[in-house]
Amino acid sequence: MIRKTHRRWPVLPFLLLFFLGACPENDDDALMLHLYHSLDEEIQDAVDGTEIPPEYLAALISLESHPAGNRDSKRFEPAVYDRLMDLKYSGEPFGYIPRNRIRTLEDQKLRELSTSYGLTQIMGYHCLELGCSIDDLKGEFHLLWSVAYIRDHYGKQVKARNWEACFRMHNTGRVDGTTSRKDYVEKGLIRMQYYRKWINQEGSLF
């Protein structure tokens, strides 16, 4: 008697295909998976009750902190320092900052105000407006202050879900600003999609 046989997939290649299919698609996808597992709870808490989706804040973190997710990221901005010096000594306007707020500050303090901090690199001089301290920007509640900054400075773009404008505003202060890296906005938009995917999958590869 001839017995019918059923074709079976070789076990090893099948498992290999399964795991490869479950892996992140590329470096950007893998980066957002890493941020999901390391920061999602904190991100969700920070945006809770606001118009800001967690995937935007996560993408911002991926672009602004170095390496991505490093809470201790900071960057001194010489151009900002020069503007603050001009404001202090010559009265040249710099944004919303009143001259009397910095007139008596020593050089070290001006340098702190000219440095950006934390996961989303908020500039120190924004403390003068937000009512926080440099230590607040460097501390565990950085993302809460970041959300306050975002809502205050470009909340209209967030409500309109104009994410390209949001990324440009955060990085340059202008909706049409030239970002620090050419692919800043492009990467931000792509990484938002990847982070939303991991939220939907709860960070699971399966």
The domains of the chain are located at: 26-70+140-200
Name the pTM for this structure. 0.87
> What are the structure tokens assigned to 36, written together?
């999901």
Q: How far apart are the first and last CA of the chain?
A: 43
- pLDDT, tens digit (0-9, with 9 covering 90-100), for 148-180: 999 999 999 999 999 999 999 999 999 999 999
Instruction: Give the integer Cα–Cα distance in Å for 32 and 197.
Output: 9
Pairing of strands 122-123, 74-76: unpaired
Q: How far apart are CA 206 and CA 196, in angstroms?
A: 16
Encode pLDDT of 64-114 as tens digits. Answer: 999 999 999 999 999 999 999 999 999 999 988 999 999 999 999 999 999
- CB contact set of 24 (below 8 Å; sequence gap of 6+): 30, 33, 194
